[in-house]
Structure 1
Amino acid sequence: MFDTQSNTFLYKYLNNSSPTGFEASGQQIWLDYMKPYMDSYITDAYGSVAAVINPDAPYKVVIEAHADEISWFVHYITDEGYIYVRRNGGSDHQIAPSKRVNIYTKKGVRKGVFGWPAIHVRDEKEETPTLKNIHVDVGATSKQEVLDMGIHVGCVMTFDDELMELNNRFLVGRALDNRMGGFMIAEVARRLKENKVKLPFCLYVVNAVQEEIGLRGAEMISRKLRPDLAIITDVTHDTRSPMYNKITSGDVRCGLGPVLGYAPAIHNNVRDMIIEVAEKKQIAFQRMALSRATGTDTDSFAYSSEGVPSALISLPLKYMHTTVETVHKEDVENVIKLMYEFLVQLPANYDFRYIK
């Protein structure tokens, strides 16, 4: 489905760690891949990056994903050398026990494990993992030894897991939410370049930071760029996997195509144009109602400045915020194709207002 160049980038980018607030290394990998396909780039103080295509055109369009992943902070180090943690984003304490971690220090990456007592020695009441009892063991026997390793309060850590394929159909790993989005928008830019498409507008391909703690990176970069239109991509839940209630969560499945959202922040005219493109190009898609807010960077772009017509194209994903986030490769391809086809048919200076 993807050529060697795309796959090499995909694995390098996905296997790199980019915790919220510490995204710089992943952003550099992404920017290095983008350089042949852009005219210039813009960065902001906190690390969001916008690759720019056709920068002199007055009408400005954004396609966007977020670069950061959930993680943990070192919060407390005991006298015996055990580490207790605090969330950086929506990290799940219930999946932590027995996981390996990478702890990032000025002395390099230090390895650790989330320890957990054996089932036959735990309390009869079957104590479950909480932030009060999960702990990281780095093989130290004292607090001073931990400090000597370069580990201190505030060091960030991620689970130590890498991307793999499942049944030649799915991609599985941590942080597919949402570096898979960064991969997809980069592939859109590559196809525009390789197909020699001359856009009649300026395109910002935006990889934003700090989404996982409140859409903060998109909020900052949207004010800087002040676009006329924004198309956001993020992940959404596959609700046909076990333990979901489709009555409350909707009906979405990996392999059935991109998901187009309905919410006040999602501009009806923009979404309807995307649907027209999908139907014309025979790209399968699904629909999802999101109520008051999308919970994605769409909200930051839509409500920035004087209001930016915005829409959300979501990638179905299983097991969000775990180390085995799972997406269907055909869905990845169809998100890329849908964004690409939308851009090549978009006229310059298109007015999406409801009332003119």
Structure 2
Amino acid sequence: MMEKVVGSIRNSKERIKETLRDLTSIVGVSGTEQEVVKYLKEKLTPYADKVEVDHNGNVIAIKYGAGQGPKLMISAHSDEVGFCVKNILPNGFIIFDKVGGVSDQLLLGRKVWITTNKIPGIIGIKAGHMQTPEESRKVKTTRECYIDVGLSSRQEVENLGIRVGDPIVFQSDFMEMADKNLISTKSIDNRIHCAILIELFKEIEGLEFEGTLYGVITVQEEVGLRGAVTAGNAINPDYAIVLDTIPAGDTPDIDTERSLPVYLGRGPACPLADSVSGTMIFNHIHPKVREMIEEQAEKANVSLQTLTLLGDFYTTDAASLALTNKGVPVGIVSTPRRYSHSPVELVNLNDAEGVLKIVKGIVLDNGTKDLSFI
């Protein structure tokens, strides 16, 4: 019996890895998530009772339980940070705008994919031989950069199928580290949880639970938590769990214990409160949903890293989802990842597997906990 359990665990982790490989290969910048949405709908349909895609692109997979019970929404977001074509110059170089939070330090000399067809390009960099000392130290912004696709006119570029507004992402491979549980690539934020949501629907097939599960994959999270608002208003869940990545603080350039006590490989994280500095965006998870998360982590023998991230620049769909309708009790379960919003995001699949165990337990125990605030 133990051998079967271990084999199942290995299989679920391997399936998450392979789904993540597929998902991170897709170009899906905020506002242009169509290819990701197509993939997710196809993969969820065999395991859900119904799968819908709303006008904005939110994927809503519905699984009905065996009896009456709460409406539980578990969500992740499909979009990734990146860029879009701002203009094509007469000489064939492309000017671009930033979509979401990408650091300017990542720009120069990077390979990129343009459009969902992955047309190759390069963010140009002035030859080091020709740079002044001041130029060699300067971090250029997107407005000072250009993309070279190796053509010499606007017409040639347009003939490739590139148009103003088309998405651009950093080119990135799917790299397994020496420890095969560690994966580095682009858009782990938040394709890892799209993969987990697909695996969740597979694993609950044939199992009984009460109420209704809404597996939701939202759009445009990276540019204002927009998809969660429309999805939350349409579903009106009794409570919700938001799945998202969270920065890991365990690198030499961060004072881990003081600033960001999150470690890769030590289990999922649960940010209890978060906010975006300089704005009114604030979220504090619901006390009863926190209890659920902590109880399921203990039940599944999964280490849970709890923390607050106030006064920094971190938030999730939970901040907007909690305010939909008459208010939704919301909790967050996060997978730690290093090097956020870069082409080399790094994740530990053991942490992702822990997220799956927690949310699976919450689904199977749906309706057993009173959601009253006091």
Query: Which of 238, 243, 247 does residue 248 from structure 2 map onto?
Result: 238
Q: Deviations 1:227-254 (Å, cap 9, x if unpaired)?
A: 0010011011110113223366321100
| Deviation at residue 300 of structure 1 after TM alignment | 1.6
Structure 1 residue runs of 4+, over 4 Å off? 3-7, 55-58
Residue of structure 1 aligned with 2:52, choices 42, 46, 49: 42
Give the counterpart letter for 1:342 in structure 2: I
Aligned pair count? 350
Q: 1:102 to 1:312 in 2, by over 3 A?
A: same
Contact 2:69 2:210 in 1 (8 A): no
Give the corresponding residue for 1:114: 123
Q: Secondary structure at the match of 1:120?
A: helix
CA shift, 1:109, in A, is 4.2
Q: CA deviation at 1:169?
A: 2.5
Equivalent residue, structure 1, for 2:303: 284
CA–CA separation in structure 1 for the residues paired with 2:119 and 2:110: 14
Are the counterparts in 2 of residues 9 and 33 from structure 1 also a CA contact under 8 Å? no
SS at match of 2:45: helix
Please name the residue that 2:4 is paired with.
none
The partner residue of 1:192 within 170, 179, 204 is 204
Aligned equivalent of 1:134, options 118, 123, 145: 145
Contact 1:262 1:291 (C-alpha < 8 Å) held by counterparts: no
How large is the Cα RMSD of the aligned pairs? 2.0
2:334 is aligned with 1:314 = yes
* 1:332 and 2:343 matched: no
Which residue identity does 1:148 align to in structure 2? N
Report the AA paired with residue 192 of structure 2: M
Residue by residue over 1:48-104, the C-alpha shift from the partner in whole angstroms, topping out at 9 and shown as x without a partner, is 011100078562101110000011111133332211211111122321222222211
Q: What CA distance in whole angstroms lies between the structure 1 residues aligned with 2:365 and 2:190?
A: 26
TM-score with structure 2 setting the length: 0.88
Q: Which residue of 1 aligns with 2:78?
A: 67
Q: Report percent identity of matched pairs.
A: 30
SS at match of 2:209: coil
What SS class does the counterpart of residue 201 from structure 1 fall into? strand
| Equivalent AA in structure 1 for residue 289 of structure 2 | V
- 2: CA distance, partners of 1:6 / 1:244: 29
Q: Deviation digits for residues 246-281 of structure 1, max 9, x if unmatched?
A: 366321100000111212431011112211221232
Alignment correspondent of 1:257: 267
> Aligned residue for 2:373?
354
- Post-superposition offset of 1:146: 2.3
TM-score, with length taken from structure 1: 0.92
Shift of the alpha carbon at 1:186? Answer: 1.4
| Aligned residue identity for 1:328 | N
Question: By how many angstroms is 1:332 displaced?
Answer: 0.9
Letter of the 1:136 counterpart: I
Aligned to 1:78, which of 55, 73, 89?
89
- Pairwise CA distance, 1:7: 4.2
Aligned to 2:289: 270
1:153-199 Cα offsets, whole Å, 9 max, x none, are: 22221122132211112011000000111111211111111xx2111
8 Å Cα contact 2:69/2:366 also seen in 1: no
Counterpart residue identity of residue 292, structure 2: M
Q: Gapped runs of 5+ residues in structure 2?
A: 1-9, 274-282
